[in-house]
Amino acid sequence: MNEREQVGASGNAVNGAVGVVVRHAVLGTFAAISALTAITALVTGCGSSSGGAGGAGESGQGRPAYAPVQNERFAVTTVELSAILLDNQKYARWSFGLKLKQPVQLRSIRIDDVTEGSPVSLVNDQAPQVQGGAWTGYTGAIEPSASALPWLFDSTPARRTFRFTVTDLNGQDSVLEQTVTYPVKTKKDLVKWYGFNA
């Protein structure tokens, strides 16, 4: 099992082991993390949002650069690496967001990291919940280390590509591939901001 498979397996294992707890606690946890992120942003002067219409295509402290992809049915709104706290331990976690441009009933949403060619499953939501015409999904906790996230800790710019596969109730698939670029300064800001250790 290579490092990328270990990361995927680790994320899936955490998802499986604490999936129910995380799903039930996600609103409270997310609120707490959002508050922590807001406080951190105020203290450090960093922006925490990497997606959305306002931050699209920009790069800066803690913010990757990307132009959100879309088709006639869906638009990517969020691709963000953030930090979460579990049992007083910091972990990394990807957050993803989609906007539904049409009233579509969804069967599943799958997100794979296809940066290295072979897909690594990050999110496999078999009961997507849409609120206000939007969907948000999260990976499991990822150890914030050079072995789990080598691209984050090296000294070269990084490009990550994520494949969103959205399946509606009629079985029709919509596939969007979103590439996100992390300049070296952005990576350093993220590591410092979230207190990750190589």
Domain that holds residue 15: 3-194
Residue 141's closest CA among 186, 87, 67, 77? 87
Kindly state the tokens that stand for 76: 């990517």
Q: Distance between CA atoms of 11 and 142, rounded to whole angstroms? A: 6
Structure tokens at 124: 């496999």
Rounded CA gap, 40 and 43, in Å? 5
pLDDT of 16 above 90: no
Q: Please count the structural domains in the chain.
A: 1
26-39 average pLDDT score:
37
Distance CA(118)–CA(53), nearest Å, equals 30
- Has residue 42 got a pLDDT over 90? no
Helix (H) or strand (E) holding 94, with range, is strand 89-100
Q: What are the pLDDT digits (tens) for 148-180?
A: 999 999 999 999 999 999 999 999 999 999 999
User: For the segment 46-69, what is each residue's pLDDT rounded down to a tens digit?
Assistant: 322 333 333 333 344 457 889 999
| Among 64, 72, 74, CA closest to 165 | 74
